[in-house]
Structure 1
Amino acid sequence: MTTRPAERSTTLPRSAARVLLGAFMTLAGVGHLTFQRQEFQAQVPTWLPVDRDAVVLGSGVLEIAFGLAMVSGRRRRTVGLALAAFFVAIFPGNVSQYVSRQSGFGLDTDQKRLTRLFFQPVLVAWALWSTGALQHRGALGGARRGQRED
């Protein structure tokens, strides 16, 4: 008997990694809205013509939604792809923090800010791997054809 791709993508390590990332995202989102609000403002690009606080609040709401979706495990491949895209979309903020030498979250030296940039691809990979988003080709296509996505 062969194992279906959906079954292979729900191993205990993957599920644990997905839930852990979901918890991390939920906590980060709450931090955006409350106790780390000013720290997150350091990551908003200076060239972005939008109120920094509005960006932090909006991204906080998104992070809570992503976190809860990751923990729930529903539509996990779609959520994994969307979260990976979110991590890519916010990367310019991390670059801006490095270039403009904005301190936040203990990133108070150029070396620390530069090192932080290398963790963004890790987050993208974590979102994709933990949800099995790239393991099952056509995951989105299958969902569009009416096939159930776990």
Structure 2
Amino acid sequence: MNERVIKRTARVVLGTSLVLAGVSHLTVARKAFRAQVPDWVPLPKDDTVLYSGLAEIALGSSLILTPEKHRKAVGRVAAAFFTAIFPGNISQYMNQRSAFGLDTDQKRLTRLFFQPVLIYWALKSTETEQPDK
């Protein structure tokens, strides 16, 4: 499989995952996502969950649909979003809040190491694609 296909597949998988996560923010997983909102966020937790869900739907759609000339910018915005929501993951760990099957400190700690993977994934999958050789 060539680099273009790998990047396109990675971008579509990440985008689809974001759209699905965003929809779940607005519907079936609102309570679970509230467990991740740090207490210091100045908005009501439910509002934060709704706004972040809308952002995930927009970002996911953009990863899938944005023309190549704007893809790198979308990847940077997605990476910034993953960075911005990381304090929620830390808060879930620090406050021992169970959600999404993360019901032990070890599981919550392990999850923290996946956020850099998402940041890398967003950046790498949106790099300018090299023409096939």
What TM-score, normalized to structure 2? 0.91
Q: Tell which deviates more after alignment, 46-55 or 12-21.
A: 46-55
- Asked whether 1:33 is paired with 2:26, we answer yes
* Structure 1 position 32, deviation (Å): 0.3
Q: What SS does the corresponding residue of 1:131 show, helix, strand or coil? A: coil
* Structure 1 position 48, deviation (Å): 1.8
- Asked whether 1:64 is paired with 2:57, we answer yes
| Structure 1: runs of 5 or more not aligned | 1-7, 137-150
- Asked whether 1:103 is paired with 2:98, we answer yes
Among 13, 16, 21, the residue aligned to 1:23 = 16
Query: Following the alignment from structure 1 to structure 2, what is the Cα–Cα distance between the partners of residues 120 and 46?
Result: 20
Superposed structure 1 runs of 4+ greater than 3 Å apart: none
* Structure 1 position 47, deviation (Å): 2.1
* Structure 1 position 73, deviation (Å): 3.4
> What amino acid sits opposite 2:49 in the alignment?
V
Q: Tell me how large the CA RMSD over aligned residues is.
A: 1.7
Percent identity over paired residues: 55
* Structure 1 position 49, deviation (Å): 2.4
What residue is the counterpart of 1:89 in the other structure?
Answer: 84
What residue is the counterpart of 1:52 in the other structure?
Answer: 45
- Asked whether 1:131 is paired with 2:126, we answer yes
What TM-score, normalized to structure 1? 0.81
Per-residue CA deviation, residues 102-131 of structure 1 (Å, 9 max, x unaligned), is: 111000100000000000000000000000
Query: Following the alignment from structure 2 to structure 1, what is the Cα–Cα distance between the partners of residues 55 and 6?
Result: 25
> What amino acid sits opposite 1:19 in the alignment?
V
